[in-house]
Amino acid sequence: MSEQTPIIEFKNVDISNSDTLVIENLSFEIFQGDFVYLTGKVGSGKTSIIRTIIAENPVTSGEARVGEFNLKGIKRKQIPYLRRSVGVVFQDFQLLMDRSVESNLEFVLKATGWNDSKAISERIDEVLQLVKLSTKAHKMPHQLSGGEQQRVAIARALLNSPELILADEPTGNLDNETAKGIMDLLYEINKTNRTAIIMVTHNQNLLKQYPGRVFLCADNTCREEVSGAIDLDIEI
């Protein structure tokens, strides 16, 4: 692994949320094929890290790189290209409710520079097959279950074949059985495509059932825990 170039590299980065410092001196490297959990209590800075990775929060100290993008001093015109290179999955799905599944995905592809109608249609078919929703392309989001809507969100994140997917509490609004299906899917994407995944979660059971690297955010720090050593008492 040491011979690989990290997809993400942070060195001594301070993370803020609305001008409030939430994490000091964050240093980590994320590599292709990593499955990484950010965990900790509410307000401990987990989502602020995600926002920093996609340049919603500015980097003002230390060094931070995502792919080819230097986050410290990144130009505004570069930010859309950074975000196109990263797939993002949200807890509340964030689908466009006034258009079909297919149209949701088509909208993203066109917004990220796809012009060929045939290529767009083929890519939509591919990602819907990956998330096992091939028969749902013409459904409206309100016609889908919560789990199905989250699968559409994952399909959307996969459209541009990113090296990295950020998943912010992707199972937070789902029952246990549906959450397991979503985790199975993310784990399969990670293992099959070697897509790095950084996932924010409060759910300790997921850490046991789906092993990965674990970073615990607490007391203005976020540090990697030794495998098998974490025993969290987290209140949602």
Q: In this structure, are residues 178 and 210 in contact, taking their beta carbons and an 8 Å threshold?
A: no
134/209 Cα distance (integer angstroms) = 28
147/154 Cα distance (integer angstroms) = 11
Q: What is the pLDDT of residue 4?
A: 83
Q: Give the chain's domains with CATH numbers.
A: 1-85+163-236 (3.40.50.300), 97-161 (no CATH)
On the question of pLDDT at 2 being above 50, the answer is no
On the question of pLDDT at 234 being above 50, the answer is no
What's the distance, Cα to Cα, between the start and end of the chain in Å?
34
Q: What is the pLDDT of residue 227?
A: 64
Tens of pLDDT, residues 158-192: 999 999 999 999 988 888 899 999 999 999 999 99
Please give the full DSSP string across 66-106, using - where no structure is assigned.
Answer: ETTEE-TT--GGGHHHHHHTEEEEETT----TTS-HHHHHH
Tens of pLDDT, residues 81-124: 998 899 999 888 889 899 999 999 999 999 888 999 999 999 99
